[in-house]
Structure 1
Amino acid sequence: MTVIVAPVQQLLVFARLQTRSCAFAVALLSGMALSTLAPRLPVARYDLLLVYGLLLTLVFRLRGWETGRDVAVIAVCHAIGLAFELVKVAHGSWSYPEPAALKIAGVPLYGGFLYAAVGSYVCRAWRLMELELVRYRPWATATVAAAIYANFFTHHWLPDVRWPLAALLAVVTAGTSVRFSVGKARYSMPLLFSFTLIGFFLWLAENIATYLGAWRYPYQLQEWQPVSFDKIGAWSLLISVTFVLVAATRRRADPT
C-alpha cells in the first residue's frame, strides 16, 4: 500500500502548492464571475474589475503573500500585457465589447491584470516550491523570449516567425531543467515542458475568462465558443517572457 499511498500524497501536496501559487489568478477569475451576477451599477464592470485588481494586489502585499519584488515584477507584467493588448485590439484579434470609462484605444486598464496574474503565479510558485534552474542560459533564453514577444506585434506587418522562434527556444533551453520541492522531496522537469504545461492551463483559464466576458474573440461575439487549440502554443511561447522576467530577479542556477 505504501507504494501507492506515497505518490498520491505527493500529488495532493503538489496540487495544494499549485493552488496556492494560483491564488491571485483564482481570485481574479472569481471576481469576474461574481461581476456577471451583480445588478446594473452606475460604474462600468470593466472599471470595477480594475479597482478589484488593485485591491487584490494591495491585499496580497499586506498579507505577505507577495513580496515587494513580486509586486514590481507583477507591475511590469501588467504594463507589458497592456502594450500587447493595445496592438492586438487595434488589429481586431479580440475585443472588449463592454463600455468603460478607463479605456485606452478600446482596451480597459484592467486588461493588464490578466498578465499580472501569470506573473503572480510564477513568483509564488518559485518561492513556495523552491525553484532552482539547472544549466539555464539566461542571456540566450531572454533574447529568444524578447524576440517571441516582439513577433506577436510584428507578425501583423512582417512574416510570422513564431515556429522558427519556438524551435530556437527549444534549442536554447535544451538541457535546462527546473528543480522544485514537493514536501521534502525534490523533483526535476525540463524547462520547455513546464512552458507547455503552463500554456495548457492558461488556455483553460482563457476559456473561462472569455466565457465570463473578460474579452471576446471575433468568433465569440454572437455566441461563446471554446478558444481555439492553437492558443495553447501561443501561451506556451508567451510564458517564456514572464519566466525570464522572474528568473532575472531571483535566479538560483546550477551552471553544471
Structure 2
Amino acid sequence: MPQLEQWLGRSLPGWLVKASTEFLVFGVKQAWACLFGGLLLFAIVATGFWYPADWALARYDFLFLYAVGIQVTFLVTRLERPPEALVILIFHVVGTVMELFKTSVGSWVYPEANFFRLEFAGGMVPLFSGFMYAAVGSYLARVSRTHDFQFTHYPPLWQTGLLALMVYVNFFSHHFLPDIRLALFGFAGLLYWRTWVYFRVWRWQHRMPLLLGFLLVALFIWLAENIGTFAGAWLYPDQQSGWRIVSLAKMGSWYLLMIISWVLVTLVHRPKKT
C-alpha cells in the first residue's frame, strides 16, 4: 500500500492520495470477498455463450461440478473455514428447497437438460442453482472477516432469527395466502433501524446503517441476476420469448433473502459490538 500511495502521490494532493488508496483497497477487499460468486458468475456467462453443443456433459452439469470444485478448493486452501462452509451448505439447502417450490409453480424455469437435478411437482432444479445462494452466504461470511465488522445496537439473535423464518415462510405462503412482505419490510426496519455496521478498509474505520448495507448488496445481486438471465442460466416467464431486464420488484425479494443469508452467517460470526 505505501508503494501505491507513492505512485498516486506523483500527481495528486495528499488528502486525495489517501482517499484514493482507501477506495482502491475497498474494491480489492470486496472483490476478494466476492471470489466464489465472481468465479461462478464468470462460468455462467462463459458457458452461456461458448459452451460446445456437442459435449456429452450438459452445461448445467458442468456448472455443478465446477461449483463443487470451487468449494472444495476453498476448503483445502483455507479460503473458507469449515464452520463457514457448514452455514453456506445450510443456505444451499434452504435455497434449493425454495427453488424446487418456485419452479413447480412457474415463478421461473431452467430451460436446459441436465443430469444432476431435483424434480418436484413438475418443477426441475439443476443442482448448480443452490450454489448461487451459497455464493451470497460465502460473500457475507468473507466480507465480515475482511472488513472486521462491528455493530452498535444490534438486535437480539432470537428476534433476527424470527424475522428470517417469517421471510422464508412467506416466500412459499404468499402463493396461497396474503403476501406479508410489506409487514416484513416494516419488521426489518423496526429491528435494524438503529443498527450501524462499522468496518475497516485500511487506515480508517467507516460506518453505515446496516439496512443500507443490505440494500447495496441486494442491488448487486439484482445486477448479477440480470447477467445470469441474459446468459440463459434461468428465465422468468416474461423472458422466455426474448430477454428483458429483470423487474426492479425483484430487489425486494433479494433484500429479504439477504436477511435470511445474513442471519445464517451470524450463527458463525456472532455480531461484535463496538
- Verify same fold: TM over 0.5: yes
Q: How does 1:55-74 map to 2 (within 5 A)?
A: 55-74=69-88
| Corresponding residue SS for 2:267 | helix
Contact 1:133–1:251 (CA<8 Å) still a contact in 2? no
Indicate which of 121, 132, 136 corresponds to 2:139. Answer: 121
Q: Which protein shows a greater Rg?
A: 2
Amino acid paired to 1:59: T
| Corresponding residue SS for 1:250 | coil
1:55-79 CA distance string (max 9 Å, x none): 0101111122111112111111110
CA distance in 2 between counterparts of 1:35 and 1:147 reads 36
> Deviation at 1:135?
1.6
Indicate which of 244, 250, 253 corresponds to 1:225. Answer: 244
> Deviation at 1:252?
3.5
Q: How does 1:182-193 map to 2 (within 5 A)?
A: 182-193=201-212
Q: How does 1:126-145 map to 2 (within 5 A)?
A: 126-137=144-155, 138-145=157-164
Which residue matches 1:28?
40
CA distance in 1 between counterparts of 2:52 and 2:145 reads 39
Contact 1:131–1:179 (CA<8 Å) still a contact in 2? yes
> Deviation at 1:4?
2.4
CA distance in 2 between counterparts of 1:10 and 1:190 reads 20
Question: Could you tell me the percent identity over the aligned residues?
Answer: 38
Q: How does 1:136-215 map to 2 (within 5 A)?
A: 136-137=154-155, 138-215=157-234
> Deviation at 1:161?
0.6
| Corresponding residue SS for 1:248 | coil
Q: CA RMSD in A?
A: 1.2
> Deviation at 1:82?
0.1
> Deviation at 1:253?
2.5
Q: How does 1:13-92 map to 2 (within 5 A)?
A: 13-36=25-48, 37-40=50-53, 41-92=55-106
CA distance in 1 between counterparts of 2:90 and 2:154 reads 22
CA distance in 1 between counterparts of 2:99 and 2:213 reads 25
CA distance in 1 between counterparts of 2:229 and 2:184 reads 27
CA distance in 2 between counterparts of 1:174 and 1:53 reads 36
Indicate which of 102, 116, 121 corresponds to 1:102. Answer: 116
Moved more, 94-103 or 5-14: 5-14
Contact 2:109–2:236 (CA<8 Å) still a contact in 1? yes
Contact 1:132–1:251 (CA<8 Å) still a contact in 2? no
Could you list the runs of 5+ residues in structure 1 that have no partner in the other structure? none
Which residue matches 2:8?
none
| Corresponding residue SS for 1:179 | strand
When the two structures are superposed, what TM-score results if normalisation uses the length of structure 1?
0.96
Count of aligned positions:
255
Which residue matches 2:4?
none
Moved more, 59-68 or 85-94: 59-68
When the two structures are superposed, what TM-score results if normalisation uses the length of structure 2?
0.90
CA distance in 1 between counterparts of 2:243 and 2:225 reads 12
1:192-219 CA distance string (max 9 Å, x none): 1111011100000000111111110011
